[in-house]
A and B are shown apart, each in its own frame.
Chain A
Amino acid sequence: SQKIEQNSEALNIQEGKTATLTCNYTNYSPAYLQWYRQDPGRGPVFLLLIRENEKEKRKERLKVTFDTTLKQSLFHITASQPADSATYLCALVGSARQLTFGSGTQLTVLP
Protein backbone atom coordinates (compact mmCIF):
# COMPACT_ATOMS: atom_id res chain seq x y z
CA SER A 1 0.00 0.00 0.00
CA GLN A 2 1.08 3.58 -0.47
CA LYS A 3 3.12 5.08 2.31
CA ILE A 4 4.08 8.65 3.01
CA GLU A 5 6.70 9.61 5.58
CA GLN A 6 7.85 12.88 7.01
CA ASN A 7 11.31 12.25 8.33
CA SER A 8 11.36 14.55 11.33
CA GLU A 9 8.68 14.53 14.00
CA ALA A 10 10.03 17.78 15.40
CA LEU A 11 12.37 20.46 14.13
CA ASN A 12 13.70 23.44 16.07
CA ILE A 13 15.39 26.31 14.26
CA GLN A 14 16.52 29.83 15.07
CA GLU A 15 14.50 32.79 13.86
CA GLY A 16 15.71 34.09 10.52
CA LYS A 17 17.06 30.73 9.36
CA THR A 18 15.60 28.53 6.62
CA ALA A 19 13.55 25.54 7.74
CA THR A 20 13.62 22.50 5.46
CA LEU A 21 11.08 19.71 5.90
CA THR A 22 11.20 16.40 4.05
CA CYS A 23 8.41 14.19 2.71
CA ASN A 24 9.07 10.80 1.13
CA TYR A 25 6.56 8.40 -0.38
CA THR A 26 6.53 4.84 -1.69
CA ASN A 27 4.25 2.62 -3.76
CA TYR A 28 2.58 5.60 -5.39
CA SER A 29 3.01 7.89 -8.35
CA PRO A 30 1.04 11.00 -7.44
CA ALA A 31 0.17 13.60 -9.99
CA TYR A 32 -0.09 16.18 -7.20
CA LEU A 33 1.43 16.72 -3.79
CA GLN A 34 0.26 19.28 -1.26
CA TRP A 35 1.54 20.89 1.91
CA TYR A 36 -0.69 22.03 4.78
CA ARG A 37 -0.14 23.86 8.04
CA GLN A 38 -1.93 22.75 11.19
CA ASP A 39 -2.06 24.70 14.44
CA PRO A 40 -2.98 22.95 17.71
CA GLY A 41 -6.68 22.14 17.98
CA ARG A 42 -7.48 23.36 14.48
CA GLY A 43 -7.97 21.91 11.02
CA PRO A 44 -5.17 21.99 8.45
CA VAL A 45 -4.83 24.99 6.18
CA PHE A 46 -3.72 24.59 2.56
CA LEU A 47 -0.36 26.13 1.69
CA LEU A 48 0.93 24.89 -1.66
CA LEU A 49 0.23 22.32 -4.36
CA ILE A 50 2.86 21.05 -6.77
CA ARG A 51 2.26 18.99 -9.88
CA GLU A 52 4.40 16.06 -11.01
CA ASN A 53 5.70 18.05 -13.98
CA GLU A 54 6.76 20.96 -11.78
CA LYS A 55 10.16 20.89 -10.14
CA GLU A 56 9.60 23.84 -7.84
CA LYS A 57 6.79 26.11 -6.59
CA ARG A 58 7.08 29.31 -4.58
CA LYS A 59 4.69 31.40 -2.54
CA GLU A 60 6.11 34.33 -0.60
CA ARG A 61 8.61 32.79 1.87
CA LEU A 62 7.59 29.23 1.04
CA LYS A 63 9.19 26.96 -1.52
CA VAL A 64 8.29 23.38 -2.43
CA THR A 65 10.27 21.00 -4.63
CA PHE A 66 9.02 17.72 -6.06
CA ASP A 67 11.37 14.98 -7.27
CA THR A 68 9.35 12.12 -8.73
CA THR A 69 12.51 10.07 -9.32
CA LEU A 70 13.54 10.23 -5.67
CA LYS A 71 9.85 10.16 -4.62
CA GLN A 72 10.52 13.12 -2.39
CA SER A 73 9.25 16.62 -1.71
CA LEU A 74 11.11 19.29 0.22
CA PHE A 75 9.33 22.21 1.90
CA HIS A 76 11.34 25.32 2.75
CA ILE A 77 10.42 28.34 4.85
CA THR A 78 12.95 31.12 4.42
CA ALA A 79 13.54 33.91 6.95
CA SER A 80 11.56 31.90 9.49
CA GLN A 81 9.59 33.65 12.22
CA PRO A 82 8.15 32.43 15.53
CA ALA A 83 4.69 32.74 13.93
CA ASP A 84 5.72 29.96 11.53
CA SER A 85 5.75 27.52 14.45
CA ALA A 86 3.16 24.83 13.66
CA THR A 87 2.86 21.28 12.38
CA TYR A 88 3.39 20.94 8.65
CA LEU A 89 1.78 18.09 6.76
CA CYS A 90 2.47 16.77 3.30
CA ALA A 91 -0.29 14.97 1.45
CA LEU A 92 -0.67 12.93 -1.72
CA VAL A 93 -3.75 13.50 -3.86
CA GLY A 94 -5.84 10.49 -4.92
CA SER A 95 -8.14 9.97 -7.87
CA ALA A 96 -11.16 11.36 -5.99
CA ARG A 97 -9.01 14.21 -4.69
CA GLN A 98 -8.86 12.48 -1.32
CA LEU A 99 -5.68 13.11 0.64
CA THR A 100 -3.24 10.67 2.20
CA PHE A 101 -1.33 12.60 4.84
CA GLY A 102 2.09 12.13 6.34
CA SER A 103 2.34 12.19 10.11
CA GLY A 104 3.59 15.76 10.11
CA THR A 105 6.63 17.67 11.30
CA GLN A 106 6.25 19.99 14.28
CA LEU A 107 8.32 23.09 13.58
CA THR A 108 9.37 25.43 16.37
CA VAL A 109 11.05 28.70 15.45
CA LEU A 110 13.01 30.04 18.40
CA PRO A 111 13.26 33.81 18.88
Chain B
Amino acid sequence: SQTIHQWPATLVQPVGSPLSLECTVEGTSNPNLYWYRQAAGRGLQLLFYSVGIGQISSEVPQNLSASRPQDRQFILSSKKLLLSDSGFYLCASTGTGFGGSIYEQYFGPGTRLTVT
Protein backbone atom coordinates (compact mmCIF):
# COMPACT_ATOMS: atom_id res chain seq x y z
CA SER B 1 0.00 0.00 0.00
CA GLN B 2 0.94 3.64 -0.28
CA THR B 3 2.90 5.68 2.22
CA ILE B 4 2.80 9.47 2.21
CA HIS B 5 5.67 11.38 3.80
CA GLN B 6 5.39 15.01 4.80
CA TRP B 7 7.89 17.30 6.45
CA PRO B 8 8.31 19.12 8.61
CA ALA B 9 5.73 17.90 11.11
CA THR B 10 5.43 21.29 12.77
CA LEU B 11 6.57 24.73 11.72
CA VAL B 12 6.42 28.18 13.29
CA GLN B 13 7.12 31.00 10.87
CA PRO B 14 6.86 34.80 11.11
CA VAL B 15 4.54 36.76 8.87
CA GLY B 16 6.22 37.62 5.58
CA SER B 17 8.63 34.70 5.62
CA PRO B 18 8.76 32.09 2.82
CA LEU B 19 7.37 28.58 3.05
CA SER B 20 8.21 25.24 1.52
CA LEU B 21 6.38 22.04 2.49
CA GLU B 22 7.31 18.80 0.85
CA CYS B 23 5.35 15.64 0.24
CA THR B 24 6.65 12.39 -1.20
CA VAL B 25 4.74 9.23 -2.00
CA GLU B 26 5.92 5.61 -1.89
CA GLY B 27 4.25 2.49 -3.20
CA THR B 28 2.55 3.85 -6.29
CA SER B 29 3.27 5.50 -9.61
CA ASN B 30 1.57 8.30 -11.52
CA PRO B 31 -0.84 9.16 -8.70
CA ASN B 32 -3.04 12.22 -8.52
CA LEU B 33 -1.68 14.38 -5.72
CA TYR B 34 -3.50 16.92 -3.55
CA TRP B 35 -2.81 19.61 -0.97
CA TYR B 36 -5.51 20.32 1.62
CA ARG B 37 -5.57 22.79 4.49
CA GLN B 38 -7.53 22.46 7.70
CA ALA B 39 -7.90 25.64 9.75
CA ALA B 40 -8.47 25.25 13.47
CA GLY B 41 -11.93 23.77 14.14
CA ARG B 42 -12.85 23.69 10.47
CA GLY B 43 -13.12 21.21 7.62
CA LEU B 44 -10.56 20.34 4.98
CA GLN B 45 -10.22 22.75 2.09
CA LEU B 46 -8.68 21.64 -1.20
CA LEU B 47 -5.85 23.98 -2.22
CA PHE B 48 -4.17 22.35 -5.24
CA TYR B 49 -4.20 19.13 -7.16
CA SER B 50 -1.95 17.60 -9.79
CA VAL B 51 -2.69 14.85 -12.30
CA GLY B 52 0.91 14.64 -13.55
CA ILE B 53 4.41 16.13 -13.47
CA GLY B 54 4.28 19.89 -13.96
CA GLN B 55 0.45 19.92 -14.02
CA ILE B 56 -1.07 21.99 -11.21
CA SER B 57 -4.67 23.06 -10.69
CA SER B 58 -5.52 25.70 -8.11
CA GLU B 59 -8.83 25.59 -6.28
CA VAL B 60 -8.60 28.68 -4.10
CA PRO B 61 -6.93 32.02 -4.95
CA GLN B 62 -4.29 32.77 -2.35
CA ASN B 63 -0.63 33.54 -1.87
CA LEU B 64 0.32 29.87 -2.02
CA SER B 65 1.64 27.93 -4.99
CA ALA B 66 2.35 24.28 -5.70
CA SER B 67 4.77 22.39 -7.89
CA ARG B 68 5.28 18.77 -8.91
CA PRO B 69 8.86 18.35 -10.07
CA GLN B 70 8.76 14.54 -9.97
CA ASP B 71 6.06 11.92 -10.27
CA ARG B 72 5.86 11.27 -6.53
CA GLN B 73 6.88 14.66 -5.14
CA PHE B 74 4.53 17.55 -4.43
CA ILE B 75 5.67 20.87 -2.97
CA LEU B 76 3.63 23.67 -1.44
CA SER B 77 5.25 27.10 -1.32
CA SER B 78 4.72 30.69 -0.42
CA LYS B 79 6.91 33.74 -0.94
CA LYS B 80 5.37 35.66 1.98
CA LEU B 81 3.24 34.04 4.65
CA LEU B 82 0.12 35.66 6.07
CA LEU B 83 -1.41 35.05 9.50
CA SER B 84 -4.36 33.42 7.74
CA ASP B 85 -2.04 30.76 6.32
CA SER B 86 -1.86 29.06 9.72
CA GLY B 87 -3.37 25.61 9.71
CA PHE B 88 -2.85 21.89 9.29
CA TYR B 89 -1.59 21.07 5.80
CA LEU B 90 -2.26 17.63 4.43
CA CYS B 91 -0.92 15.98 1.31
CA ALA B 92 -2.93 13.16 -0.25
CA SER B 93 -2.57 10.67 -3.06
CA THR B 94 -5.11 8.59 -4.93
CA GLY B 95 -5.26 4.84 -4.89
CA THR B 96 -4.01 2.72 -7.77
CA GLY B 97 -6.94 0.38 -8.02
CA PHE B 98 -4.83 -2.55 -6.81
CA GLY B 99 -6.19 -3.61 -3.43
CA GLY B 100 -8.31 -0.51 -3.22
CA SER B 101 -10.41 1.96 -5.15
CA ILE B 102 -8.73 4.54 -7.39
CA TYR B 103 -11.02 7.04 -5.74
CA GLU B 104 -9.91 6.58 -2.16
CA GLN B 105 -7.28 8.98 -0.95
CA TYR B 106 -4.33 8.28 1.28
CA PHE B 107 -3.31 11.15 3.52
CA GLY B 108 0.06 12.01 4.97
CA PRO B 109 0.66 12.81 8.63
CA GLY B 110 0.33 16.56 7.98
CA THR B 111 2.31 19.70 8.79
CA ARG B 112 1.02 22.02 11.48
CA LEU B 113 1.96 25.56 10.45
CA THR B 114 1.69 28.49 12.84
CA VAL B 115 2.32 31.92 11.40
CA THR B 116 3.19 34.46 14.10
A residues with CB within 8 A of B: 32, 34, 41-46, 49, 89, 93, 96-104
Q: Are A49 and B110 in contact (CB under 8 A)?
A: no
- List residues of chain B with CB within 8 A of the CB of A43: 4, 90, 92, 107-110
Within the complex, what minimum Cβ distance (angstroms) separates A87 from chain B? 9
- Chain B residue nearest to A98 (CB atoms) is B49
Size range of the interface on B? Answer: 20 to 34
C-alpha spacing A104/B43, complex, angstroms? 6
Within the complex, what minimum Cβ distance (angstroms) separates A95 from chain B? 10
Cβ contact of A99, chosen from B4, B46, B88, B101, cutoff 8 A: B46
B residues with CB within 8 A of A: 4, 32, 34, 36, 42-46, 49, 51, 57, 59, 88, 90, 92, 94, 100-110, 112
Could you name 18 residue pairs across A and B whose Cβ atoms are closer than 8 Å?
A32-B103, A42-B110, A43-B92, A43-B108, A44-B107, A45-B107, A46-B100, A46-B105, A49-B101, A49-B103, A89-B43, A93-B103, A96-B49, A97-B94, A97-B105, A101-B36, A101-B45, A104-B43
Within the complex, what minimum Cβ distance (angstroms) separates A75 from chain B? 15
> Are A97 and B106 CB-contacts (below 8 A) given A43-B90, A44-B44, A89-B43?
no
